[in-house]
Amino acid sequence: MHNIVREEDPTRPSTASMNVAQPGNDGAAFPEIMDVLSINYQGEGIRDTPNYSGTNGTRTPPAYGIFHQDQPEKLMWTSESASALSTRRTYFFPVTDNGGAPVNNTSGGNETLAQVSAYELYSANFGSSPDKVFATQDRNPYVGGEFVWTGFDYIGEPTPYYTSRSSYSGIVDLAGFKKDRFYLYQARWRPDLTMAHILPHWNWPERVGEITPVHVFTSGDEAELFLNGESLGKQRKQPFEYRLRWDDVVYEPGELRVVAYKDGSSWANASVRTTGPAAAVRLTADRKSISGDGRDLLYITADVVDAEGLIVPTADNMIEFSVFGAGQIVATENGDPADLVAFPSASRKAFSGKALTIVGGTAGDGMVRVSGLSDGLNGDQLTVSIS
């Protein structure tokens, strides 16, 4: 195949991904042939740390150096990295150390709920936490970067829970809602963007007085955390660290606030607050108008909010969507991999306080009014023009 590509176009390099092949092993010919070294998971090491010792399969120490020493003239990058797993805004305790861990019922997972903790430290058995990937790449600056598995959750391969319908590996869930991991990658890939993000949410009535770790993702290099106005101290990123951790926070309801710094100057702020009970559904459309060609789509987010308009992060209320006028519901979604309700259903439970409906315009001009109703909550509606 390499030779065929070269015959057809000698100006372009060719490559193929390597899950196992390395210089000096049974697959030694594979990296020799490739013009570009595309490595899957091997760069940061596979099952090579103590937390992964109980898993079965290939074990590989961090392999960037092996390839680079053998063929230092070749471009190298990671064509699949991490395979980290999580469900949006769900968290389990205790929290593993910074090296990451595979998912099981005592480590980041809940098989009954088919959910994975969103502290973003858990992965498939062959994978790694994003933090480990970042550190290994930074220790080997000749590596050209990474292609994360995956950007979005997707139908199929529902590791680690095969009763689910979709994967858990996305940086963004199946509804297009950002997981906490989104902000970890944002801090990594956009270091000049002023941002800070706090996890977990702060609705834990059952954890009053219990240790509830708080992590911060920021493009800054230092941050101070406050709980109800009281400083919990400053943390500074050390070499090869990509998150700031306050692992001994004792939960009490109220407000968590973080002030991030960069090069000694104030950089970004973020906060999360304990909410009241669910009071209303709030609809937000991605646009004010769509085409009436029968193909254009309108994406409407439904947030379950309290009386102050704060999203209730634990809300799972059933929402009934309706469309009036020149449009129709194409699909609904909530980002929960274990939700087996068919996409065309007009009824969808909120997951971690959010749901989505996708509306298509029917041919022609006009208006479409979309409503979202839920028993016991104030509903909402919005109107969008179709042209």
Name the packing angle between helices 180-189 and 130-139 (round to 10°): 10
Calpha distance 102→104 (Å, rounded)? 7
Quick one: average pLDDT of 318-334? 95
Sequence-ordered list of residues with C-beta below 8 angstroms from that of 22, at least 6 positions apart, any chain = 28, 31, 42, 60, 63, 66, 67
Q: Are residues 212 and 358 in the same domain?
A: no
Lookup result for tokens 């998971």: 41
- Tokens 């994003």 belong to 130
- What size, in residues, is the chain? 387
Mean pLDDT within 198-202: 98
Grade residue 99 by pLDDT with cuts at 50, 70 and 90. confident
CB neighbourhood size of 386 (10 A): 23
Q: Please give the Cα distance from 213 to 224 (Å, whole number).
A: 15
37: enclosing H helix or E strand: strand 37-40
Please classify residue 84 by burial: count the beta carbons closer than 10 Å to its beta carbon, then call 0-12 exposed, 13-18 middle and 19+ buried: buried
Nearest CA among 29, 1, 2, 17 for reference residue 76: 17
DSSP assigned state of 55? S
Candidates 247, 261, 290, 239; CA nearest to 135 is: 239
Question: pLDDT value at position 163?
Answer: 95
Domain edge (last residue) among 273, 295, 326:
273
Structure tokens at 130: 């994003």
Which pLDDT band holds residue 343 (cuts at 50, 70, 90)? very high
Domain match, 305 and 262 both: no
**Total number of domains constituting the chain:** 3
Is 194 a member of any domain? no
Q: Are 80 and 128 in contact (CB under 8 A)?
A: no
- Residue 293 pLDDT: 82
Query: Which of 134, 166, 188 represents a domain boundary (last residue)?
Result: 188
- Per-residue pLDDT tens over the stretch 285-304: 999 988 888 788 999 999 99
193: in domain: no
82 and 176 share one domain? yes
Which pLDDT band, with edges at 50, 70 and 90, does 26 fall under?
A: low
154: CATH:
3.20.20.80
CA distance 207 to 317: 22
The mean pLDDT of the chain is 95
156/260 same-domain check: no
Separation in Å, CA 341 to CA 116, 135, 168, 320, 331 = 20, 40, 17, 13, 11
Least confident among 57-61, 167-171, 307-311, 332-336: 57-61
Residue 355 contacts residue 346 (beta carbons within 8 Å): no
What are the pLDDT digits (tens) for 352-380? 999 999 999 876 678 899 999 999 999 99
Q: Which two tokens stand for residue 334?
A: 């909530």
Q: Is residue 88 part of a domain?
A: yes
Query: Across residues 304-326, what is the average pLDDT?
Result: 96
Residue 196 within a domain: no
* Whether residue 299 sits in one domain with residue 221: no
Q: Dihedral (C-alpha) 198, 203, 209, 212: value to the nearest 10 degrees?
A: -30
Same domain? For 155 and 255 the reply is no
Q: Which residue has the higher pLDDT, 292 or 219?
A: 219
Query: Distance between alpha carbon 162 and the CA centroid of its chain, in Å?
Result: 19
My answer on whether omega of the bond before 94 falls inside 30° of 0, hence cis, is: yes
* Alpha carbons 370 and 215: distance in angstroms, whole number: 37
| CA max distance for the chain | 69
Q: Which domain holds residue 263?
A: 201-273
Statement: residue 27 has pLDDT above 70: no
Res 281: pLDDT: 98
Mean pLDDT of 262-284: 98
Q: What is the mean pLDDT of residues 122-126?
A: 96
Percent with pLDDT over 70 in the chain? 99
Within this chain, do residues 36 and 97 fall inside the same structural domain, yes or no? Answer: yes
Task: Specify whether 35 is located in the same domain as 158.
Answer: yes
Residues 29 and 170 in one domain: yes
352 SS3 class: coil
Question: What's the confidence (pLDDT) of residue 352?
Answer: 98
